[in-house]
Amino acid sequence: MQIGPLLLGFTCLALAPLATAQYADHVDADKVYQSLQDDHGFSAEQLAWARAALADAKKLPQLIQQEQTAPERTETWTRYARRIDTPRIRDGAALLRSHARALADVEHEYGVPPSVVAAVLGIETRYGNITGNVRVLDALATQGLDHPTRTPFFRSELVAFLVLADEKGWDPREAKGSYAGAMGAAQFMPSNYRRLAVDFDRDGDTDLWQMPDAIGSIGRYFVDYRPALAWRRGEPLLVRATASRPLPDDLPVNQRQPDLTFAELADLGITPSVALPDDFPVGILSLPLDDGSDEIWIALHNFYAVMTYNPRVFYAMAVAQLAAEITEEAYPAP
């Protein structure tokens, strides 16, 4: 990652004009400073550095609008599925070849197949080509101090970003990412960057803008982010299904974890394309299409492991289907 060190120490940021310090003096900024001090042991000098960083942060209300209208919240599956396009499939297959060693090492260490890792990179950043052009400082200050409903989450990420920048010697004004503050080819939020990113190429720097580290970090994420939904080596993600009658209105669908067993599907008129043990945990996915119908799938444990990366069904479905297409492109049937 091309982020210069703090060559001038805290003095560099201290020169930020106080007239623009709308976030340094925000009503909730003290919560940021308190967390930095109490939870991360920031000294008075480090707190002054953090305050100067927030003095330079810009309020960008359009980022809140982007977060609230993210495509996985507002589009039908028909429209969202357009992301599984020919260029992504082709470039995903190329990634399997160009980074075969790192992907093989990830599968060996974490059990996550290369095509799934590649699909995450494809959906997130088109394989590292679009990692975001918003200053992370601006994104997290805006979302963490002015978001109408999610300030606690984003404020904690703002704190994590300042800690990360301090640990790595970054100028916090230089790192760029998404409207939500996600960074690198893998689009990790700062807390996950600190907790789960790995130096997979062993060059002494954990850099998620470098593909080997992004690949390794995705593998570790699926295993360590939420142990109860950790990736299970060798298991599939999905099973196609058909429904012989409309699903009951009160039936939970598109949940974030399995809430049924395979045996219960028959009573609901759902026929999976593959049989599983009766006590196998499953969930029902109902994906709205542009024609008003719904596409029915049975989600298995590893599908919900993908949802820990982004808790939206459309996102996880796009990853699952792109992974299948990448595999077919890279290893076509004879």
Domain ranges within the chain, ordered by starting residue: 1-56+134-181, 86-131+183-233+312-334, 238-299
Q: Global pTM?
A: 0.91
- What percent of the chain clears pLDDT 90, i.e. is strictly above it? 88
Residue 207's pLDDT is what?
98
- Indicate if the pLDDT at residue 154 is higher than 50: yes
Q: Are 157 and 118 in contact (CB under 8 A)?
A: no
Residue 22's pLDDT is what?
81
Residue 1's pLDDT is what?
53
Residue 74's pLDDT is what?
86
Q: What is the mean pLDDT of residues 208-230?
A: 98
User: Tens digits of per-residue pLDDT, 21-39?
Assistant: 489 999 999 999 999 999 9
**In which element (H, E) is residue 299 found?**
strand 294-299
Strands 238-243 and 294-299: antiparallel
Q: Are 182 and 208 in contact (CB under 8 A)?
A: no
Backbone phi, then psi, for 254, in 5-degree steps? Answer: 55, 45
Residue 6's pLDDT is what?
40
Residue tagged active-site, from 72, 124, 157, 325: 124
**In which element (H, E) is residue 92 found?**
helix 86-98
Q: What is the mean pLDDT of residues 225-244?
A: 96
User: Tens digits of per-residue pLDDT, 155-202?
Assistant: 999 999 999 999 999 999 999 999 999 999 999 999 999 999 999 999
Residue 329's pLDDT is what?
97
Q: Which three-class secondary structure state does DSSP give residue 333?
A: coil
- Indicate if the pLDDT at residue 14 is higher than 70: no
Q: Are 200 and 213 in contact (CB under 8 A)?
A: yes
Q: Are 145 and 28 in contact (CB under 8 A)?
A: yes
- What percent of the chain clears pLDDT 70, i.e. is strictly above it? 94
CATH fold of 1-56+134-181, please? Answer: Helicase, Ruva Protein; domain 3 (1.10.8)
For the question of residue 325 being annotated catalytic, the response is no
Residue 292's pLDDT is what?
87
| Candidate from 19-23, 75-79, 207-211, 235-239 with smallest mean pLDDT | 19-23
Question: Which two three-digit tokens encode residue 151?
Answer: 């300030």
Dist CA 267 CA 81 (whole Å): 30
Nearest-Å Rg of the Cα atoms of the chain is 22
